[in-house]
A and B are shown apart, each in its own frame.
Chain A
Amino acid sequence: MSEPLLKVDDLRVEFDTRHGRVTALDGVSFDLMPAETLGIVGESGCGKSITALSLMGLIPSPPGHVTGGRIEFEGNDIAAMTKRRQRQMRGHDIAMIFQEPMTSLNPVFTIGDQIAEAILLHQDVSRGEARNRSIELLKTVGMPEAERRARAFPHELSGGMRQRVMIAMAISCRPRILIADEPTTALDVTVQAQIFELMRGIQEEFGVAIMLITHDMGAIAEMADRVAVMYAGRIIEEGDADEILDNPLHPYTRGLIGCIPLLGKEARDDGRPPKLAEIPGVVPPLHLLGQGCSFADRCPLVHDRCHREKPLLTGSTHCVACHATQMEAA
């Protein structure tokens, strides 16, 4: 196996809130291999976006603080780099696309200008050359009439088109890693499929590693090679996407997979479609996390130990952090 492109080790991020300091990321570790797609999945507020932002060094501070852990890019500790080098890495080595294509483009500049700006930030080319490349990039991401659309302003484009612009901007400097933070959540289902198609095409063409952050197990099934399931700031299950989808070990993951509506599922006795499963309760507020497993209050398999002791992530290829399944295996 080759060296990981990105190695995250025991990352801790804390936030100052009205309730005192809370832990948003609690010892998150994972590797990202070259040209693979890692899915990070979980409910809102579980730390997915904070993970992405901390990789980019974009945690708003204050109130956020990275209080521990290491992030290595190609073997180099990011925290040890100069601010200048860190800034160069953003966009050049690691690029990011955001959840809301409606608001992530600057409304007062044309999209061609914005892509050209991104190119000029990292590459030593003339303005004209950057403009030509921005049109090429728009063609690459499947923008019809790219020359004309380059002169359009963001508000003149649909959500799917804007997300294509964001992708064009993200790949403008051929990054090694593309972080996609819920790239299709704000889009129609049909457009969603097109964007995923585009991302796969780009991965094939440029060999970029994708970190796909989503709450949608369907997106994971479609895109991811490996999956890390997050809950309340921790990774609770990690492994190959197929393995996790077929054989989820953590009760939370099972719950998430149960939430996918499936057309093929057997109908109920009275002929109505199968009832959609749900996970009772909500993610606990971060300031109320106790010493035990953070999922204990919602877990169907809960027992005494879960309230006393945090389960650790164990296993070699398919890892899980759950007392119940670990006891079962032992």
Chain B
Amino acid sequence: MSVQETRRAIKPVSPLREAAQMFCRNRPAIFGTVLLSLIVAAVFYGTFISGADPYEIVWAPQAFPGEAENIPLGTDYMGRDILTGLLKGGGPTIAVGLSAALITVVIGISVGAMAGYFGGWADNALMRFTEFFQVLPALLFAMVLVTLFSPTLTTIAIAIGIVSWPQTARLTRAEFLRIRNLEYVTAARAVGAGNNRIIWRVILPNALPPLIVSATLTIGVAILFEAGLSFLGLGDPNTMSWGLMIGANRSYLLDAWWPVTFPGLAIFLTVLAVSLIGDGLNDAFNPKLRQR
């Protein structure tokens, strides 16, 4: 081996890059990534490129898929094109999922980090507060929040975020409890780092892997939540979403299965893709678990 080659061989590899390589060798994760990309591309097309209106009545109600030309997935109980609905409705669904996950992560990490790092009475107070949210049935609590405030996409996302952050908080706290006693934290304190710097720059980067996994999985859960709320008629009636399509057509399920099935399938595939990615990330960050 020449000197040049040796140098290349021992080129520094960051833990993140290592995880990325691991992820790319994981077939289900790649499948999930491809699937999600296709869904996002389709939704992007429907939202920004196609001019079709999902509320427009294009044919007779409950037309069977393929019954008419240009209507491959049929129409719903009012004669609206289901394919257009899927393409248009994906945007709000995914947006709610993402923003709810973001809210979850921000609240969860802040609360968990404070509790785990400071311990003592701060930990006690914050964890009792967290438990208060944990003991409420999540879907019921979200329904209450959405009905209290008018059901718009924003309030739905906030409601889902508010009911799902406790798990992230507990996970963050556990990681902080583990890491705060490690020697490099003491070493950071010994060079004069303050609490802020230690929490955000020393401990958090080391606590991230499980949090990234949990955040990814939260996106899937939030999408399901949105669907559940819409199914119960608590969605935003003015914004086409997959959940809304299921909710609006559910009364006619026995007459026509397709207006409910296709949005359901879309949700299933999206959540599946997100979960596969989450699992892939989990394996990538915990290579030892792969040998199970």
Interface size class of A (residues with CB under 8 A): 20 to 34
Known contacts A107-B206, A117-B201; A87/B192 CB under 8 A: yes
Report yes or no: B183 in contact with A104, Cβ–Cβ below 8 A. Answer: yes
DSSP majority for the B interface? Answer: helix
**Chain A residues with CB under 8 A of B14:** 108, 110, 153
Give the number of A-B contacts (CB < 8 Å): 76
Is the CB–CB distance between B184 and A103 below 8 Å? Answer: yes
How far is A152 from B206 in the complex, measured between Cα atoms in Å?
Answer: 17
Which chain B residue lies CB-closest to A106?
B184
Q: Which of A78-121 contact B (CB under 8 A)?
A: 87-92, 95-96, 98, 100, 103-110, 117-118, 121
Contact in complex: B205, A108 (CB < 8 Å): yes
- CB-based contact B192/A121 at 8 Å: yes
**In the complex with contacts A103-B184, A104-B184, A58-B190 CB distance below 8 A:** yes
Contact B184 A169 (CB under 8 A): no
Give chain B residues whose Cβ lies under 8 Å from the Cβ of A245.
Answer: none
A208 to chain B, nearest CB (A): 15
B137 sits at the interface (CB 8 A): no
Q: Verify B190–A90 contact, CB threshold 8 A.
A: yes
Give min CB distance, B77 to chain A, whole Å. Answer: 54
Contacting pair B184 A91 (CB below 8 A): no
Contact in complex: A151, B187 (CB < 8 Å): no
Chain B residues near A148: list those with CB within 8 A: 7
Q: Which residues of B contact A96 (CB under 8 A)?
A: 187, 190
- Tell me whether A58 and B188 are in contact (CB under 8 A): no
Chain B, 155-198, CB within 8 A of any chain A CB: 182-184, 186-194, 197
Other-chain residue from A87, A105, A153 in contact with B184 (beta carbon distance below 8 A): A105
Q: Is A286 an interface residue (CB 8 A)?
A: no
Among B14, B187, B201, chain A packs the most CB atoms within 10 A around the CB of: B187
> Chain A residues near B7 (CB, 8 Å)?
148
Does A133 make an interface contact (CB < 8 A)?
Answer: no
19 additional contacts (CB under 8 A) given A103-B184, A106-B184, A121-B197: A58-B189, A62-B120, A89-B192, A90-B189, A90-B190, A90-B192, A92-B192, A98-B187, A98-B190, A104-B187, A106-B202, A106-B205, A106-B206, A107-B15, A148-B7, A153-B15, A156-B12, A156-B13, A170-B191
A-B contact pairs, 27 of them (CB 8 A): A56-B189, A56-B190, A58-B190, A87-B192, A87-B194, A88-B192, A89-B192, A90-B189, A90-B191, A92-B192, A98-B186, A103-B183, A103-B184, A105-B184, A105-B187, A107-B206, A108-B14, A108-B15, A108-B205, A108-B206, A117-B191, A117-B201, A153-B13, A153-B14, A153-B15, A156-B10, A169-B191
Which residues of A are in contact with B by a Cβ distance under 8 Å?
56, 58, 62, 87-92, 95-96, 98, 100, 103-110, 117-118, 121-122, 148, 151-153, 156, 166, 169-170, 172
